[in-house]
Amino acid sequence: MRQARTYLDWNATAPLRHEARAAMVEALDVVGNPSSPHAEGRRARAIIEDAREQVAALVNARPAEVVFTSGGTEGNNAVLVAGWDKILLAGIEHHSVLAPARNSRAQLFDMPVDGDGVVQPDRLASALAPMSGGMSGGRALLTLQLANNETGVLQPVAEITRHAREHGLSVHTDAVQAAGRIGVDMAELGVDCLTLSAHKLGGPQGTGALVIRGDAALPPFICGGGQERRRRAGTENVAAIAGFGAAAEAARRHLGHIERVKRLQRQLEEQVRTITPEAVIIAEGAPRLPNTTSLALPGASAETLVIQFDLAGIAVSAGAACSSGKVGASHVLATMGLAPQLASAAIRISLGHDSTEHDTARFLEAWTHITAKRRARKVA
């Protein structure tokens, strides 16, 4: 009998939660346009507003601050192209932040990171001090992800935000990878805008949210209708939004699973070190998501490793999964200063709330087999 596959690529997309599927199926039977005033329209509108409350609760925001989007990429683009004069960002950001920033007319300022890919608040403060005069001369934005999609490294967003406020900057955080995996509190972070994506936490692909603090000055990013409080025109995707809301509520209820997933991560990493002492766990000493391990095997090819695991029935990835299936050099690892030979040998294992000891055991079994074959070829 063919063995079932093992899915260890939750950072690319999480399997659809059964709560989300049920909510979507129910919503698909609702006929009305949510902008229509009749009973059918009001029923569709109620589904959206219920979901808005569920998503807001996930990040401790007000429902009125949640604007539904097509996903994290749209949300990040909406913020980065909002007419800023200056943007401060780090090279470890997701491409959906870096690309619109580089294509904007804003003057870009680089935030340095340490060897673990973390922006250090004390270094930021010294970098901002001589810029304070220039920053006050126009609209300025600091954008900093909450968790890195490749390494799982967590950023001190709340502390960075306090420094940014002292210099008059608005602040945005891409919380796509963090939400549902750690507690996210928009009020504690102090940011103006926060990006979410449904499919990272067990909702459907193709929907997300941009959470905009009540007094944040962010212009509409799609015009032509009054939907989403006139910030994003167009008839809402009712079924997908329903699934997003249900997934957000389930993720919030199940945050207690974090410790179990963390134990699986810790056991996996300890066993990898035992099997292959030469392996490198990237940013091992930094605060990280409890589900993400970036693992490099010196001398190996990440692309080859991914294929070997796939043939063994296990899904892992090499870096981000947003490049149409291509495996290329990681800009995140390069920004961290990782040697190219090591960066090109890095794969990502990402767990989820449904991951089990059987899943990690299968990975370790395949890892043992793959690395043993590599050693045998070297001896031969």
Q: What is the mean pLDDT of residues 31-49?
A: 96
Together in a domain, 113 and 228: yes
Together in a domain, 51 and 79: yes
Q: Which of 126-130, 213-217, 233-237, 291-295 has the lowest mean pLDDT?
A: 126-130
Query: Which pLDDT score is estimated for 153?
Result: 98
Query: Rounded to two decimals, what is the model's pTM?
Result: 0.93
Q: What is the mean pLDDT of residues 64-87?
A: 97
103 pLDDT above the threshold of 80: yes
Tens of pLDDT, residues 161-185: 999 998 899 999 999 999 999 999 9
Together in a domain, 164 and 98: yes
| Domain residue limits at 371 | 6-15+255-379
Q: Does any domain span residue 1?
A: no
Together in a domain, 249 and 260: no
Contact yes or no for 331/343 (Cβ under 8 A): no
Give the confidence band of 329 by pLDDT, cuts at 50, 70, 90.
Answer: confident
Together in a domain, 267 and 191: no
Together in a domain, 190 and 41: yes
Tens of pLDDT, residues 133-163: 545 568 999 999 999 999 999 999 999 999 9
The domain spanning residue 178 has which CATH number? 3.40.640.10
Q: What is the DSSP string of 13-59?
A: -PPPPHHHHHHHHHHHT--S-TT--SHHHHHHHHHHHHHHHHHHHHT
Together in a domain, 274 and 336: yes
Together in a domain, 98 and 193: yes
- Which of the following is catalytic: 322, 329, 339, 372? 322
Which of 229, 253, 277 is a domain's end point? 253
Q: Does any domain span residue 38?
A: yes
CA dihedral 222, 224, 229, 235 (to 10 degrees): -90
Query: Which pLDDT score is estimated for 133?
Result: 52
137 or 377, which is more confident: 377
Which of 201, 234, 253 is a domain's end point? 253
Together in a domain, 304 and 371: yes
Give the confidence band of 324 by pLDDT, cuts at 50, 70, 90.
Answer: very low
Together in a domain, 23 and 146: yes
Query: Which pLDDT score is estimated for 128?
Result: 75
The domain spanning residue 353 has which CATH number? 3.90.1150.10
Residue 322 annotated to the active site: yes
Count of domains in the chain? Answer: 2
Together in a domain, 218 and 291: no
216 pLDDT above the threshold of 50: yes
Which of 197, 230, 253 is a domain's end point? 253
